[in-house]
Structure 1
């Protein structure tokens, strides 16, 4: 048996960052990772980095145009490039931790024996028993597969992770689900040249977002040939002769959407398989997530959880901040918590990207705010015109009494950068006039803040 001051289960963003910080502070760390294909975590291997790489390559392919066969060849090269990118990042992440004197990386399935002991089962069946003063769960999440007839047995059905290993560009792609992951893949494959159909059960497209901005996103996707079907109930998935079809009911009628590939993008669930949390006494929420307090402690005081496994927003930068919170509990004064980390912005990398932070107009009103709303059509902006990327709409919501920014939703080129500026203003408690009256370089998308906040 090997004894460590810290055992981290899961080589994700939070886990690897915390491991480095603890080792730097002179503490011993065991990093347990189930798969040698996941060093570095979900983001760099099967999520953020590879999808954004493909998004960039797809946009270039769309600009080049050409026949479907030419697009198919560019897609093949993009998949090869994606594999090279993730392989390189994975190796660097492994080497960075493995090179630290006080860190030992073990590749195998970690399973609790009790609250202080973890058994690691390697690929060859051998086991290693670890003892830890403190243990951290950072095992991430995995795609959820709904119980649709025929779906589990369909060889042409993929998750967001396996879809990026598909070597042949499908002529027709059906996306099950209308969430952000599904939107990104729909945009990527449409730009590569696939005919894409999205099917969602909810009646409203992007129901949690500003209705006017959501309508602009939908219109943009449909102009690019993406068919979006809302309010549909999928009843069956069929496969025959190398093709598939998704059978659904909408508006009282039954229809089929043909496909050479089906993407199941119906959300993700905490990855708890094999952890044996019961042995450690770690409690779960009603949603099946690891239950944590504001300092990310679980129901067992010396066990913490970080990242997707604890529920909430599933972003790699949340996992990163989780590591800061835990570090504050272990090495600091414990002041940093989930309750004081400020606003969380996010971006959906459709084309152009859609980004938001804080409340929408409807949410602000529901929460009792008297609001002022800024609205800017992107096509009027000089930078958008010179880029030839005039699609989009910006909206911002301000508290009419305090002048504080309550939220913003930006559907435009470079929105993934602009949204962080608004987030910082919100965290700093700055009045909207600071953004309105700022002097920005020209011509840039950021100078749109002058007009967006001219309310």
Structure 2
């Protein structure tokens, strides 16, 4: 190995969180290096949220046209997967090079390999030994491994986003948000789609009353759901793949042209040799305290999806990275305060949630008002032919404060943000009902959702 190189800060991961920490630290006069074992720019920009929404875009037009068929739309549009992928690459292709150019311009030294800890402040990367006063882990998450025979034939979300042409049939293993989102895209592009789920229902983290509505909408697209299915083996055939699974006491099989692992994602820490760095971690990620500092190694911080702090969402990783940078530069003075974090499944219609679930609300408060309705007859849904529109809003009866909101419908991913603001500001139902919103708008429907 070459001689030891020294830095004030070494950041592992070039996604949103890693970049923000590195930028803040170098601008504060610290010497900074950064490393990544994949293309620079991280998951969200290269192979996650952003390209996913690009693939979703044309299906929104497609669905709207079908909803309004015979109601002003004379001819339904056709979707073109190849042209969509070409359009998507106009966004993603430039990300790695532009990210590297930006970091280089700031004077940050770059490495293209996953570092390994040799000690509490020592790393090995690209055959070099690195010592850093502070080390930041911002490696995000990767697809969960299933440890089954034939796993090498499984595709991941990365592969779906890069598909050159759509297959005739797709099988998704896992009915989480990634599986559902991709299933909706694939089904609208004409794929025969099946979702195999080990549990008894889809989307465990979301309100099951609204999930059942989403499943109805999914089935209307031709998506088939198989629950309580334990995957045993993946077998490669001539053109197809055969999945062997167990359902109850019976062993069954199903075939598809492609099989995708959408069983979830786990913290990307396997290659870091955290034990040698005396870094505490669990299956949930790198253990951190309120300063986003590791609970065992005080010179290590973590932020973004890899930290065990909260939900793995990009907006939250931004907040965490700001905390980490401040505490490295000025010493531990700033604690993380997690606001209400909304979450969205970008199916069509969207499924969105913020705050407490019905179960959590009833456990925390003595009396809870549950406003729950399916309302495809409301004006905004009827005018665009949307058959699936529902909500569940939870109020603390004593204070009339909104404590949870769950939405299914067009633009629910936008409307939920107002509920997030209301919960964060501790607004009551009356506070919101007094506000004047544009009409007729999806936002204005909030007032009707709060009627008791």
5 Å-filtered alignment, 1:246-325, equals 246-250=243-247, 252-285=249-282, 287=283, 289-298=285-294, 299-311=296-308, 312-325=310-323
CA distance in 2, matches of 1:208, 1:6: 36
Cα separation, 1, equivalents of 2:404 and 2:345: 16
Aligned mates of 1:376, 1:335 — CA distance in 2: 46
- The answer as to whether partners of 2:35 and 2:113 remain within 8 angstroms in 1 is yes
Question: Partner of 1:408 in structure 2?
Answer: 405
Q: Give the aligned length.
A: 437
Q: Secondary structure at the match of 1:158?
A: coil
Counterpart residue number, 1:159: 156
Separation in structure 1 between the aligned mates of residue 339 and residue 217 of structure 2, nearest angstrom: 31
Q: Deviations over 1:396-435 (max 9, x none)?
A: 1011012221111111111111111111111111212222
Give the drift of 1:249.
3.2
Counterpart CA distance in 1 for 2:215 and 2:36 is: 40
Partner of 1:148: 148
Per-residue Cα deviation, 1:294-317 (whole angstroms, up to 9, x for no partner): 211111111101122223422122
- Which residue is equivalent to 2:44? 43
Q: Does 1:92 align with 2:90?
A: no
Deviations 1:17-43 (A, max 9, x none): 1111122222221111222x2x11111
Q: Is the 8 A contact 1:143 1:265 kept in 2?
A: yes
Give the Cα–Cα distance (whole angstroms) in 2 for the partners of residues 215 and 19 of structure 1.
43
Moved more, 91-100 or 345-354: 91-100
In the aligned structure 1, how far is the partner of 2:255 from the partner of 2:87? 29
Q: Distance in 2 between matches of 1:322 and 1:144?
A: 24
Structure 1 position 165, deviation (Å): 2.0
Aligned partner of 1:139 in structure 2 is 139
Matches within 5 A, 1:156-195: 157-195=154-192
CA contact (8 A) 1:59 1:192 kept: no
Which residue is equivalent to 1:79? Answer: 85
Distance 1:193 1:79 in 2: 16
Deviations 1:110-160 (A, max 9, x none): 222222222221xxxxx333322111011111101212333x243xx2011
Q: What stretches of structure 1 of length at least 5 have no aligned partner?
A: 122-126
Q: Is the 8 A contact 1:44 1:90 kept in 2?
A: no
Contact map agreement 2:214 2:388 (CA 8 A) in 1: no
1:373 and 1:28 map into 2 onto residues whose CA distance is: 54
Kindly indicate whether the alpha-carbon contact (under 8 Å) linking 1:381 and 1:445 is maintained by their aligned counterparts in 2: no
What TM-score does the superposition give when structure 1 sets the normalisation length? Answer: 0.90
The within-5 A match list for 1:158-237 is: 158-237=155-234
Which segment drifts farther, 264-273 or 373-382? 373-382
Greater Cα shift, 159-168 or 405-414: 159-168
How far apart, CA to CA, are the structure 2 residues paired with 1:20 and 1:60? 39
Tell me how far apart the structure 1 counterparts of residues 202 and 124 of structure 2 sit (CA, whole Å): 45
Alignment partner, residue 129 of structure 1: 129
- After superposition, give the CA deviation of every residue in 1:172-193 in whole Å (9 maximum; x if it has no partner): 1111111111111111111111
Residue 79 of structure 1 and its aligned partner are, at CA, apart by 2.2
Q: Would the aligned equivalents of 1:112 and 1:118 in 2 still touch at CA under 8 Å?
A: yes
Please report the RMSD computed on the Cα atoms of aligned residues, expressed in angstroms: 2.2
Q: How far apart in 2 are the matches of 1:423 and 1:336?
A: 23
Instruction: Write the distance in 2 (CA, Å) between the matches of 1:369 and 1:82.
Output: 50
Residues 439-454 of structure 1: pairs in structure 2 closer than 5 A? 439-454=436-451
Residue 339 of structure 2 aligns with which residue? 342
Question: Do residues 329 (structure 1) and 337 (structure 2) align?
Answer: no
* Alignment match, 2:368: 371
1:25 partnered with 2:28: yes
Name the CA distance, whole Å, in 2 between partners of 1:115 and 1:402.
Answer: 49
Aligned with residue 107 of structure 1, among 99, 109, 112: 112
Q: C-alpha deviations, 1:71-100, integer Å up to 9, x for none?
A: 6x7112222322332112333322222211
Give the match for residue 14 of structure 1.
17
What CA distance in whole angstroms lies between the structure 2 residues aligned with 1:343 and 1:63? 31
Structure 2 unpaired stretches of 5+: 67-76
Q: Give the corresponding residue for 1:57.
A: 58
In 2, Cα distance between the equivalents of 1:420 and 1:335? 29
